[in-house]
Copies of this chain bind each other. A is one copy, B any other.
Amino acid sequence: MKERKILLEHGSGGRLSHELIQEIFLPLLRNEYLEKLEDGAVFTGGGGRYCFTTDSFVVSPVFFPGGDIGSLAVHGTVNDLAVMGARPLYLSAGFILEEGFPFDALTTIVCSMADAASRAGVTVVAGDTKVVPRGAADGIFITTSGIGVIEYRRNLSAGSVRPGDAVIVNGTMGDHGAAILVVREGLRAAALVSDSAPLNELVACILAASPNVHCMRDITRGGLTGILKEIALSARMDMMIEEAVIPVAPEVRGVCEMLGLDVLTIANEGKLAVFCAMEDAAQVLTAIKDHPLGRNATMIGRVEAKGTGRVILKTHFGGLREVDLPSGELVPRIC
């Protein structure tokens, strides 16, 4: 029997990532926190509710239009906390450096982390640095973990999604992934810029606008399709999404078409999906649009009914297409 090996797709946020979690991590480490398959674990302490989350960052190239691995590592963890309804408080950062990595680049990256942390109102309180010999890593990898305090009274989770819920996104899809690809492939495309940004302030506005927000998720690896399908599966809800209203910048669409990629499976780093009660959708949408990170916010669809977790896309041409967890076409090292 052929030995099974880890494939790039196991880190894609799509189907094989899902399988890896279901086959190895969940059964071996099984506990009530991991089983929820959320962006962070919620625990109680001293009467308060806290969220704890982690993400490793291996983006290539390390510097890209709109950010670098340092700001990305801060935003990624801040956003994971934010969508769990947690106000981010503390971050840790573990650095794995390749021998020979330039001091100047490291300095720029740590400056960028400091700026991003300051903007998001979090403090990097703990860290660690390892160095591996030349060839044993590619430049720099950063793992950030974060702790936040949850002040929203309602439990935000896929399990809280209800039939009739509105599905809202805060802006255009695919900007981060397209910006990385343009640099990596040396394309002469229009100046694309990553959307990497801290979403905690926007989330605070959303939660202040409605007591009936049910679930939020930042739309990173796997793209919009990936996270909608994940939530649909977790919630056992079927949903209908209007493809024509999903905001996509023309240049991003162009790059994806040129490279044969589905823009709805491409990572963002400053975008989220919000599931809220339909009667509050207008006020949530207004709150998002009032924030600089939400000007292009749109309601893109609704949760139809309890089901098996089907995500149906009403296409530009009026047809219906069921989407699955992304697989195959891969964009490795996007975050």
- Which residues of A line the B interface, CB within 8 A? 3-12, 17, 20-21, 24-25, 28-29, 31, 33-34, 40-41, 43, 45-48, 50, 52-58, 60, 89-90, 92-104, 106-107, 110-111, 113-114, 117, 123-133, 135-138, 141, 143, 145, 147, 149, 332-333, 335
Does A332 lie within 8 Å of B131, measured CB to CB?
Answer: yes
Q: Can you name the residue of chain B whose Cβ is closest to the Cβ of A9?
A: B131
Contact A8-B56, Cβ < 8 Å, known A29-B113, A94-B94, A141-B137:
no
Can you show 12 pairs from A to B with CB atoms below 8 A apart? A4-B102, A5-B100, A8-B99, A21-B129, A33-B125, A56-B94, A58-B96, A92-B145, A130-B333, A136-B138, A137-B141, A141-B141
Q: CB within 8 A of A92: which of B53, B101, B135?
A: B53
What chain B residues lie within 8 Å of A117 (beta carbons)?
29
Does B43 lie within 8 Å of A45, measured CB to CB?
Answer: no
A319 to B230, CA, bound (A): 67
What chain B residues lie within 8 Å of A17 (beta carbons)?
129
What chain B residues lie within 8 Å of A9 (beta carbons)?
131
**Which 6 residue pairs of A and B lie closest in terms of their CB atoms, listed nearest first?**
A46-B46, A11-B131, A41-B125, A143-B143, A145-B145, A54-B92
What chain B residues lie within 8 Å of A124 (beta carbons)?
29, 31, 34
